[in-house]
Structure 1
């Protein structure tokens, strides 16, 4: 990894090699998602530090993962679906029952519609959200912990 982001690592044996917070099984994309929901929840519920949060957001916002070339991108990122290619839905069936909708296959189950599954598979452009969060949270996040975005 780069020395600009010492809190972020990629190791083959954890999270399939995707970028994550060092010492944790928490991918960079997960941190962005959690902070997007609530900074307080990231700090208290997931026990992340402000420097870890800022580094994860900065790492994502600058698309550092493209330079680091991890084995796989974060599971909820659109870069991952690009990396893996289109989802094969040929053996999947959408089931609509009285109170629920789900998609099932021989060894697969997704609670939601086929449309929801495809949207979930496509992922998010987390780097855009991370950039917005860095701007929105600039007063809460320390300046000394990570490089400035150019």
Structure 2
């Protein structure tokens, strides 16, 4: 693992080896998603420290995971989707009922069209979001410091 991000680890028996906060079952991609919704929610409800958040965002923004080569990338990341390969849709069927569209297969339901399912399956380019969040975080911390 990277000495630049000591709060981030990849261990085979936790989260299938994806990058996560040390001592937590919280993947780096989850941290990015949570902070994307609200920094204060991440700090308060998920009991993350500002240092853990900065490290998770930095790890993701710099694509450190590609160098660390985890067993699997974060579950909601487009890198994970590339790793898993294309979605097999051969057993799926799209249904339209009025304004309602859904995709169904044996033991599988997706509320939306086949095109939406494929887009959703592509995952998120979290590193791009993480980069913007780091910029926003630096600005927010600078502004808070100036007000103090």
Q: TM-score, normalised by structure 1?
A: 0.86
Cα 1:87–1:3 shift into 2, 3 Å: same
Higher share in helix? 2
1: CA distance, partners of 2:7 / 2:100: 41
Rg larger in 1 or in 2?
2
* Per-residue CA distance 1:21-76 (angstroms, 9 max, x = gap): 11111111111111111101111121111011000000000100000001111111
2: CA distance, partners of 1:41 / 1:81: 27
Could you tell me how far 1:103 is from its partner in structure 2? 1.9
Structure 1 residue ranges without an equivalent (≥5): 143-150
2: CA distance, partners of 1:35 / 1:126: 11
Give the match for residue 17 of structure 1: 17
Q: Aligned residues, how many?
A: 142
Give the match for residue 114 of structure 2: 114
Give secondary structure in 1 for the equivalent of 2:72: coil
1: CA distance, partners of 2:36 / 2:118: 22
Taking only aligned residues, the RMSD between alpha carbons, in angstroms, comes to 1.8
2: CA distance, partners of 1:14 / 1:110: 27
**Larger RCO of the pair (alpha carbons < 8 Å, separation 6+):** 1
Give secondary structure in 2 for the equivalent of 1:103: strand
